[in-house]
Structure 1
Amino acid sequence: MTGPLLDIRDLSVAIKGTQILRDVSLKIEEGEIVALTGESGSGKSMTALATIGLLPQSVEVSGHLVLDGQDLGTLSERQLCDIRGRAIGMVFQEPMTALNPVQTIGAQVAETILIHTKTTRKEAEIRARTVLERVGLPADRFPLGRYPHELSGGQRQRVVIAMAIALRPRLLIADEPTTALDVTTQAQILELLRDLTRTEGMGLMMITHDLAVVSDLADRIAVMKNGEIVEQAPTRQLFEQMSHPYTKALFEASQHQADLPQAQCAPPLLRVQDVARDYPLPRRHPFAKRPYFRAVKGVRFDINHGERVGLVGESGCGKSTLTRAILGLDPVSAGQITLDGDPVYSSGQPNPMVQRQIQVVFQDPYGSFNPRHTVARLITEPFHLLPDPPQGAARSDAIAEALTAVGLSPDDAAKYPHAFSGGQRQRLAIARALIIKPKLIVFDEAVSALDVRVRAQILDLMADLSRHYGLAYLFISHDLGVVRSITDRVLVMQHGAIVEQGKTAEVFEHPNHPYTRALMDAAPKLPRIGGNGA
């Protein structure tokens, strides 16, 4: 091979007359990592789908896609099927949807081998075991008979990577492979991709909306906007000499700091006192005493009126279990949770007087909305918690006030969720939480799936709401940079216990606990350089 491994020249894609990609040109060499970055809708995933030959039938395509000297545009669907998995591997963003829940991990990795090679099932199983071990899932700890639901998010992503590299493809495409992962798992997956690229000699197209993720990984970065590559250069050169305004805007948004109001010196609003939560495990035999797993262990902290508190930790550390207890969705096994002195859970059931004072904003607003309901109906769902919900004009006024508060128009009340962008839907989710004027809002990974510029807008919105409404909030996230920009205090959770807590700036700059230091070290960081020489 004399030319690059992948050579994309003047690629244009249109769907029913609408231009999706415009004259995209990109090259990837053997052993090279090229990052394709930009906001949602910029054309990153469409470029990947065009490369792997998975565009819809109705599209109009022009330009050249050459892999290993072979023009992919001249191949039939049958020939492309042979290339997918064998010459080109694909790692998707959400491993749980990319894996078959009723097939074992061994069977799914072996399936790729069986489809593309003339080998026996036994030989494919041996190869699958070798590949899974290559990605950090040794058979003694992760038998081939395991199912996807028995693995963590990071382990499932390793299975997807094993499927993609089982036949040692020449090109690997990774589409947002670490967006939903905590920082330590993300660092492990990124290091695995780097190692595979170097040792296997394959090219890697890394698709992401976060410049920090690829600042230390990619050899080159291509920035996409509105279906075009507006700037591309070697990574260090791009950060030192970025010339396009859009690239500069992405860089600034990636290090955005929200303008938080002064923290109030107020009495405690939420008190979590020595809380523990146990889950029953299966008995070893019918007459054995039932064992229990303690997911939350003696957690104690306060959140004051108007205070912004972050909660960080790896997947499985107990954050979600603790959150369910705070929201009154689960009882605690020991200890007590109170809001303004009233128990969140009492007499074996949630306390409705407290529940109406605590609202939650989820990670995926589209998944938490009924797509058949209008915005007006969706954001008024919390009214069922009120003893006397507003009706008529008072209801319309409450809807208009909530939508205006989050930067939307009262006219949006008649629309449906699909009519809004991801950032606008998250604003709707915040309006739903705000409409009954709670004292505390729990933000559960509320910005992790958003583009960096949209994320910056939502963080500013949260700061403004805290300023105008005196809201307290618990901000749960695996993105330490976001936690630093939007909280006054931070709690670090490991194995069900709070191992460190304090003022956010102090904990981030001078972490005491080894686990906190490990989180800080694993978090991706932008280089201290920029288009203005900073």
Structure 2
Amino acid sequence: MSLLQIEDLNLSIHGTPVLQDVSLSIAPGQILGVIGESGSGKSMTAFAAMQLLPNGTVCSGRITLAGQDVLNMSEPELCQMRGRDVGMVFQEPMTALNPIRTIGDQVAETILIHERVSKKEALARAAEALTRAELPQDRFPLSRYPFELSGGQRQRVVIAMAIALRPKLLIADEPTTALDVTTQAQILSLLKRLVIEDQMGLMLISHDLAVVADLADDIAIMQKGRVVEAGPAATLFQTMQHPYSKALLAASAHHPDRLAEPQEQPLLTVRDVVREYRLHSNGWLGGTTTLRAVKGVSFDIKRGESLGLVGESGCGKSTLTRAILGLEPVQGGQILLDGEPVFDAKGTNRSIRRRMQVVFQDPYGSFNPRWKVRRLIAEPMYLLDQPPKGQALQDAMVEAMENVGLTADDLDKYIHEFSGGQRQRIAIARALIIKPDLIILDEAVSALDVSVRAQVLDLLADLSDRYGLTYLFISHDLSVVRSITDRVLVMQAGEIVEQGETETVFDAPQHPYTQQLIAAAPALPATDPSAELPKT
């Protein structure tokens, strides 16, 4: 017996087709992985099941949830169904949570909306839901606010909200995209445990095949609003027939070809670097303590090398990155670029700082949406003592855009007119425009679809070969680090606990923490090497 049955679903918004002949089913206690790239229709299928759709939407076909005909339900009936019969876990927990309300109140709100119970009872049940989501009250009291929690803990609060009324169906839309590998593994394990305990159905939406490969009972692959392939997870990877499915699998395990060899002399030298923060307890009038976020870190990056830096959230990766970029002072040690210090007697050495650029995780968030692309990518020029002007500036902008596979015509567009992969290419163009020696890539591909990610990694490898670029590649995605780097550093609690050639560290990790990270990383079945990357 199916819990959720979607049959021949067609959906259009203001006459534009979005879903075409979509058919899916989920039984109690079953996990269905819905895979596809951005725009494939996977999230819209989930929203259709809950009828959380924009104005101008027209649906046809049939959606049955726990015996109820969803498409023929009134809005009051749908409001009762949402939260009670079906819960939803969103991708970004910080935007799904109210920052000025306690976690206890937010979980209890779901209960108070659907049931006539006292606030005291609702809070007691909220505490129970949070405990089930592995946030016990002795460590995470109901009075906590979202900003006091880590990313993984916030996601557990969102899960607690979704399961507070023990729904029959749980929809999890990219619930682990922004999480490090160990936290991701914990969240996926938590979701599986809840499915087993409550015998609820789970629709797990993801753009990453590896995330659901070991978790889902069945997998449906979507492309352009259609289900192009579906079947049991245990056999689907061996029996794939659709070219898009094969290409998506190949893209997930893609390794760019890199021809250039690193030189022997170091470009960046980090020696015994210490970064400390002073923390105030009980407000500004209370006492202070010192947090040592980076503890005597030392390493070199050779010219032309791609060095990976991995570790869980809070290990000190971003703090170390800000110090290398001269954005935060260090309390000990030294950082040298080509033998010159990043920090001098006056603070940040600008002549050295301009030789380093950074590509951020969220390209859209790192751009001013009011500026055209030509203004955005020219921003690093202001670091120069004598920035080019007129035709020289135009030529530099055109060259940067063409280097990343875009055109001069794109200079006069706004950033919202581009896809996620194109925005990241523009971010790379901005980093390239002043021809830096070192580019720091901070989770630069973690939010991209697997095929777009593969194309961006190919682009980075090609740029490295052509211009001898040196990369510091920071990521929680170990498969990406393995595919693009020559050497890797493993960071834990502010210290480098292991380093070496990438393949050596991944094949034979020595430190228990490295072994734990690699064991937690999602694994992919064997891929078809003859498959081509999907076109975007």
TM range (shorter): over 0.9
Secondary structure, counterpart of 1:271 in structure 2:
strand
**Which of residues 281, 284, 289 in structure 2 aligns to 1:291?**
289
**Which of residues 522, 525, 528 in structure 1 aligns to 2:523?**
525
Which runs of 5 or more structure 2 residues have no equivalent in the other structure? 532-536
Please name the residue that 1:55 is paired with.
53
Q: Is 2:260–2:304's contact at 8 Å kept on the other side of the alignment?
A: no
Distance in 1 of aligned mates of 2:92 and 2:251: 24
Q: Is 2:35–2:209's contact at 8 Å kept on the other side of the alignment?
A: yes
Are residue 90 (structure 1) and residue 74 (structure 2) matched?
no
Distance in 1 of aligned mates of 2:8 and 2:169: 20
Distance in 1 of aligned mates of 2:373 and 2:171: 37
The structural deviation recorded for 1:287 is 9.0
Which runs of 5 or more structure 1 residues have no equivalent in the other structure? none
Q: Is 1:239–1:531's contact at 8 Å kept on the other side of the alignment?
A: no
Give CA deviations for 1:222-269 in whole Å, capped at 9, x if unaligned: 000000001100012211100000000000000000111243233111
1:93–1:286 Cα change, 3 Å: closer
Q: Is 2:107–2:164's contact at 8 Å kept on the other side of the alignment?
A: yes
Please name the residue that 2:21 is paired with.
23
Give CA deviations for 1:120-174 in whole Å, capped at 9, x if unaligned: 1111111111111111111111111110010000000000000000000000000
Distance in 2 of aligned mates of 1:384 and 1:285: 39
4+ aligned runs moved over 4 Å, structure 1: 283-289, 529-533
Distance in 2 of aligned mates of 1:102 and 1:475: 35
Are residue 353 (structure 1) and residue 345 (structure 2) matched?
no
Secondary structure, counterpart of 2:409 in structure 1:
helix
The structural deviation recorded for 1:212 is 0.4
Distance in 2 of aligned mates of 1:81 and 1:285: 42
Please name the residue that 1:81 is paired with.
79
Q: Is 1:240–1:531's contact at 8 Å kept on the other side of the alignment?
A: no
Distance in 2 of aligned mates of 1:444 and 1:100: 27
The structural deviation recorded for 1:351 is 1.3
Q: Is 1:242–1:531's contact at 8 Å kept on the other side of the alignment?
A: no
1:287–1:362 Cα change, 3 Å: closer
Please name the residue that 1:461 is paired with.
459
Please name the residue that 1:136 is paired with.
134
Equivalent position amino acid for 1:312 in 2: V
Please name the residue that 1:489 is paired with.
487
Higher mean alpha-carbon deviation, 426-435 vs 79-88, is at 79-88
Distance in 2 of aligned mates of 1:415 and 1:506: 45
Within a 5 Å distance, the mapping from 1:403-482 to structure 2 comes to 403-482=401-480
Equivalent position amino acid for 1:341 in 2: G
Distance in 2 of aligned mates of 1:531 and 1:394: 44
Please name the residue that 2:334 is paired with.
336
Distance in 1 of aligned mates of 2:11 and 2:454: 30
Q: Is 1:21–1:228's contact at 8 Å kept on the other side of the alignment?
A: yes
Secondary structure, counterpart of 1:85 in structure 2:
helix
CA RMSD between the two structures: 1.4
Equivalent position amino acid for 1:104 in 2: T
Equivalent position amino acid for 1:128 in 2: A
The structural deviation recorded for 1:532 is 8.4
The structural deviation recorded for 1:530 is 5.3
1:233–1:145 Cα change, 3 Å: same
Distance in 1 of aligned mates of 2:407 and 2:140: 52
Q: Identity, % of aligned pairs?
A: 64
Secondary structure, counterpart of 2:99 in structure 1:
coil
Secondary structure, counterpart of 1:238 in structure 2:
helix
Secondary structure, counterpart of 1:460 in structure 2:
helix
Please name the residue that 2:275 is paired with.
277
1:295–1:275 Cα change, 3 Å: same
Equivalent position amino acid for 1:469 in 2: Y
Q: Is 2:249–2:527's contact at 8 Å kept on the other side of the alignment?
A: no
**Which of residues 107, 110, 119 in structure 2 aligns to 1:109?**
107
Q: Is 1:52–1:84's contact at 8 Å kept on the other side of the alignment?
A: yes
1:15–1:287 Cα change, 3 Å: closer
Q: Normalized against structure 2, the TM-score is what?
A: 0.97
The structural deviation recorded for 1:454 is 0.3
Distance in 2 of aligned mates of 1:137 and 1:446: 31
**Which of residues 69, 72, 77 in structure 1 aligns to 2:70?**
72
Please name the residue that 2:534 is paired with.
none
